[in-house]
Amino acid sequence: MANTISQPVRPLILGIESSCDETAAALVCGDRTILSERIATQEAEHAPFGGVVPEIAARAHTERLAPLVEAVLEEAGIGLRDVDAIAATAGPGLIGGVMVGLVTGKALAFASGKPFIAINHLEGHALSPRLDDETLTFPYLLLLVSGGHTQLLAVDGVGSYRRLATTIDDAAGEAFDKTAKILGLGYPGGPAVERLAARGDETAVALPRPLVGTAEPHFSFAGLKSAVLRAVQADPAPAPENVAASFQAAACDCLVDRSRIALDAMPEATAFVVAGGVAANRRVRHSLAALAGEFGLRLVAPPLALCTDNAAMIAWAGVEHFRLGHSDPLDTPARARWPLDPDAESARGAGVKA
Amino acid sequence: MRLAIGTAHRACSLALIDGSKVVKAVHEIIGRGHAERLIPMIAALLGETRPGSIVVEIGPGSFTGMRVGIAAARALGVAWDVPVSGITSTEVLAARAFRDHADLPEITVALDGGRGEVFVQHFTRDGGETGPPAAVPAEQAAIVGGAVIGTGTPMIVIPAHVRVLGTDMPDMADVAALIPPAGQDRPPAPLYVRAPDAKPPQR
Ligand SMILES: Nc1ncnc2c1ncn2[C@@H]1O[C@H](COP(=O)(O)OP(=O)(O)OP(=O)(O)O)[C@@H](O)[C@H]1O
């Protein structure tokens, strides 16, 4: 073809994400090309509050989403008539923001006469490794570790997920964020803790590894966070970099120990995949890679931009569903909670997150 | 043809307007659930018609409702490449009052703002709004002039000389009664009136 822009490999899907504090839109093709992608983070708006404020998030999504959609279309040089379907996150997440993205997606689909596909945000994370790595096949074990979730999922196929474990209290990213707060590092805390930990001694401060060594499959991080708080109140106070390093090591031990139980329970897994914001952490990746090696598996960790919230993963989940002929009605509701595995029993105290 | 979308209150209110004539309208009290109902209702109203512009109710009203309508309107605007403008809930009710009461020189609009507050705004027939809408505790709401309209009316003490012209919520069919300059060229952005509750979530 003479054109500089060649024909996109079908299907071509527009993805929309607005379930937390990132407003995002992306165009992704069947051959895994990301034609264009825009993401507007609200970090600065939420930073003064030390966490995401739902009403502020919803306001920002409302303001930014439509121009982002226009921008990705323009950048790719295509019109809505050229896309095959529109995929939008329908939950789980902060409901006010989810509604903005969902209604935007449904309105675009209606107005362009294209199918609408409602995506579970967690499924976006679960399938995102396949956007990055075409050799990754089902089934695989997924460790989803973000600020809102810490779950081990058996990914058997598109739309087929078994939750093997979840957190009974805090998410791992939340523990990083709270540790950062305790150490006065600001928000978001994960990257700050990792930077400080790089200079610390991870054996310097004794911290607990909640549930490690027990037969129950779930995660727990609340006790670790409380222990960090007690540790810094000691006299003399330990060096902050040692607290950060020791916390990070403890969190890694928890992730590894629980993942080992899941890998034992899933011998059919072809790979061990990690996704979510905490997967950006190098210490976490190293520990998990070593664990995968014990099982003769490779660790698949998508690039950082795909690990944190983004719209390319939503568009990609749209590609996977579109290929199976799936679409959703225009009255699809927004869901604050939407477990990927509807059969999963609620772990004690858990379920609150999804 | 203009499509008017109103979701800032308990109704899902839609109208297809040609000049000052309502071609087709639907006004259903749905409470919440705008995010589910709105697009199918727009599809049913429009059929094969493609409007040349969109006007959306921007509040003051329910924050969630406003955002649903505005998100839909802006997305339709992108998809059809048509202009989208905003209209306030209060001016829609004022337009109804002035249309239905030819002798009326001025009107106070009072809308139920939740939390025991009302959104109030005063309009004159000749000059339009005399100031921005404000959220005030119902017991402090002042009615300027001799008439009041809106869902906030039952929440406030009405002086004997003041006429109550209705307790309804805004109906987008009344957008047809709006004559310039009112309701022209407002951006399709929410009119929140209240600052956000800035409490971090409990994780
Ligand atoms: N280098 C890092 N080390 C540890 N944690 C990190 C690092 N980078 C980011 N995080 C953590 O990842 C989380 C953000 O991840 P992400 O954007 O995927 O999730 P989220 O929006 O909080 O939640 P969800 O996707 O579950 O709704 C935060 O808790 C942040 O502290």
Among the partner-chain residues B63, B68, B203, the one whose CB lies closest to the CB of A51 is B203
Per-residue pLDDT averaged across A228-255, rounded? 97
Instruction: For residue A152, say whether it is annotated as part of any ligand binding site.
Output: no
Strand-strand pairing, A140-145 and A150-157: antiparallel
> Quick one: which atom of ligand 1 is closest to the CA of A189?
31
* Cβ proximity of B94 and B110 under 8 Å: no
Mutate to test the pocket of ligand 1, among A42, A151, A309 (most ligand atoms within 8 A of CB): A309
* Cβ proximity of B36 and B66 under 8 Å: no
ipTM over 0.90? The verdict is yes
Per-residue pLDDT averaged across B132-157, rounded? 95
Q: From CA B121, how far away is CA B101, in angstroms rounded?
A: 18
* Chain A neighbors of B192, CB-CB under 8 A: 59
Percent of chain A with pLDDT over 90: 87
Distance from CA of B171 to the nearest CA of A (A): 21
Q: From CA A28, how far away is CA A316, in angstroms rounded?
A: 6
For chain B, the helix, strand and coil percentages under 3-state DSSP, each to the nearest 5: 25, 30, 45
Sorted by where each starts, the structural domains of chain A and their CATH numbers stand as 12-127+309-323 (3.30.420.40), 137-305 (3.30.420.40)
> Quick one: which atom of ligand 1 is closest to the CA of A307?
18
Q: From CA B63, how far away is CA B36, in angstroms rounded?
A: 16
Closest CA to B38 of B3, B7, B82: B7
- pLDDT, residue B199, reads 66
Q: Which residues of A117-126 are buried (b: 16+ CB within 10 A; e: fewer)?
A: bbbbbbbbbb
* Cβ proximity of A260 and A233 under 8 Å: no
Does residue B180 carry a pLDDT above 80? no
Render pLDDT for A98-136 as a digit per residue (tens, 0 to 9): 999 999 999 999 999 999 999 999 999 999 999 999 999
* Chain B neighbors of A57, CB-CB under 8 A: none
Q: From CA B41, how far away is CA B43, in angstroms rounded?
A: 5
Per-residue pLDDT averaged across A184-191, rounded? 88
Q: From CA A95, how far away is CA A294, in angstroms rounded?
A: 41
Q: From CA A318, how far away is CA A323, in angstroms rounded?
A: 8
Tokens matching residue A318: 């749209």
Does B77 sit within 8 Å of A103, measured CB to CB? Answer: no
* Chain A neighbors of B197, CB-CB under 8 A: 53, 55
- pLDDT, residue A311, reads 98
Q: From CA A328, how far away is CA A21, in angstroms rounded?
A: 25
Q: From CA A28, how far away is CA A267, in angstroms rounded?
A: 32
* Chain A neighbors of B194, CB-CB under 8 A: none
Q: Residue A28: what are its φ and ψ, rounded to 5°?
A: -125, 140
Continuous segment of H or E residues that includes residue A97: helix A95-112
Q: From CA A203, how far away is CA A181, in angstroms rounded?
A: 21
B128: CA distance to ligand 1 center in Å? 49
Q: Which residues of A81-91 are buried (b: 16+ CB within 10 A; e: fewer)?
A: ebbbbbbbbbb
How many angstroms from the chain centroid is the CA of residue B82?
21
If DSSP codes are grouped into helix, strand and coil, which group holds residue B94?
helix
Please report where in the chains the tokens 């009403």 appear, as a residue.
Answer: A55
- pLDDT, residue B179, reads 62
Strand order in the sheet with A272-275: A160-166, A150-157, A140-145, A272-275, A299-300
Q: Which residues of B85-98 are buried (b: 16+ CB within 10 A; e: fewer)?
A: bbbbbbbbbbbbbb
* Confidence label for A352 from pLDDT (cuts 50, 70 and 90): very low
Rg for chain B, CA atoms, rounded? 17
- pLDDT, residue A242, reads 98
Continuous segment of H or E residues that includes residue A315: helix A312-323
Strand-strand pairing, B84-87 and B147-149: unpaired
Q: From CA A344, how far away is CA A337, in angstroms rounded?
A: 13
Tokens matching residue A294: 């014990």
Render pLDDT for A139-157 as a digit per residue (tens, 0 to 9): 999 999 998 899 999 999 9
Among the partner-chain residues B36, B72, B189, the one whose CB lies closest to the CB of A107 is B72
Percent of chain B with pLDDT over 70: 95
* Cβ proximity of B131 and B121 under 8 Å: yes
> Which residue of chain B is at minimal alpha-carbon distance from A82?
B79
Tokens matching residue B190: 């929410």
Render pLDDT for A281-303 as a digit per residue (tens, 0 to 9): 999 999 999 999 999 999 999 88
Q: From CA A168, how far away is CA A253, in angstroms rounded?
A: 17
Q: From CA A186, how far away is CA A175, in angstroms rounded?
A: 13
Distance from CA of B34 to the nearest CA of A (A): 9
> Which residue of chain A is at minimal alpha-carbon distance from B192?
A59
Q: From CA B184, how far away is CA B92, in angstroms rounded?
A: 12
Which residue type occupies A325? G
* Confidence label for A199 from pLDDT (cuts 50, 70 and 90): very high
What are the DSSP E strand ranges found in A222-338?
272-275, 299-300
Exposed/middle/buried for residue B115 (C-beta within 10 Å: 0-12, 13-18, 19+): exposed
The better pLDDT of the pair A337, A5 is held by: A337
CA distances from B101 to A227, B97, B98, B149, B166 (A): 70, 6, 5, 12, 12
Percent of chain B with pLDDT over 90: 87
Strand order in the sheet with B21-29: B21-29, B11-18, B2-6, B53-57, B84-87
Render pLDDT for B15-48 as a digit per residue (tens, 0 to 9): 999 999 999 999 999 999 999 999 999 999 999 9
Instruction: For residue A177, say whether it is annotated as part of any ligand binding site.
Output: yes
Query: To the nearest whole number, what is the mean pLDDT of chain A?
Result: 94
Q: Which residues of B6-27 are buried (b: 16+ CB within 10 A; e: fewer)?
A: bbbbbbbbbbbbeeeebebbbb
Continuous segment of H or E residues that includes residue A155: strand A150-157
Does residue A3 carry a pLDDT above 70? no
Render pLDDT for B54-107 as a digit per residue (tens, 0 to 9): 999 999 999 999 999 999 999 999 999 999 999 999 999 999 999 999 999 999
Per-residue pLDDT averaged across A210-229, rounded? 96
* Cβ proximity of B190 and A59 under 8 Å: yes
